[in-house]
């Protein structure tokens, strides 16, 4: 109960301080569109509803096959996120609130 209350007040404080709208309301996390770091290296950020980066994948390989994400058949989108630390996995759905962004990274799935 105590932890829950402090989480709530942290979220309100951050929202109030930055004016950033929460993303993926009622979902655990949101994943942004690919961020191209170079010709071969790509990065995907996993955000909490406050747009804090809570996990990320940087790879030059297929992001569908390196373990953190699962993908649908074409048109390819992430349908699963796995926390590599504790193996908790989450089902992803296409961003239901279109146009949400964290910084300039458009959210792809929640």
Ligand X SMILES: *[C@@H]1O[C@H](CO)[C@@H](O)[C@H](O)[C@H]1NC(C)=O
**Smallest distance from ligand X to CB 86, Å:** 4
CA dihedral 65, 77, 33, 70 (to 10 degrees): -30
Helix, strand, or coil here: 31? strand
In eight-state DSSP terms, residue 40 is S
**Smallest distance from ligand X to CB 74, Å:** 24
Binding to ligand X by residue 85, rule CB under 6 A?
yes
Binding residue for ligand X (CB under 6 A) from 54, 64, 71, 101? 54
Report d(CA 66, CA 69) in Å as an integer: 7
Count of other CB atoms within 10 angstroms of residue 79: 17
Binding to ligand X by residue 83, rule CB under 6 A?
yes
Binding to ligand X by residue 71, rule CB under 6 A?
no
Interface characters, 13-52, with ligand X (x: CB under 6 A):
---------------------------------x------
The token duo for 100 is 């949400």
> Which residues, listed in sequence order, are joined to residue 106 by a DSSP beta bridge?
101
Question: Nearer to ligand X by C-beta: 16 or 34?
Answer: 34
Binding region for ligand X (CB under 6 A): 46, 54-55, 83, 85-87, 104
């Amino acid at each position: 109960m105590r932890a829950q209350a402090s989480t709530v007040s942290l979220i309100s404080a951050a929202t109030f301080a930055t004016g950033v709208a929460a993303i993926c309301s009622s979902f655990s996390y949101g994943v942004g569109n690919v961020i191209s770091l170079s010709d071969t290296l790509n990065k995907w950020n996993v955000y909490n509803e406050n747009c804090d980066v809570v996990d990320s994948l940087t790879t030059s390989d297929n992001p569908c096959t390196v373990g953190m994400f699962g993908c649908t058949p074409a048109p390819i989108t992430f349908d699963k996120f796995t926390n590599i630390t504790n193996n908790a996995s989450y089902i992803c759905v296409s961003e239901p609130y279109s146009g949400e962004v964290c910084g300039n990274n458009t959210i792809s799935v929640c």
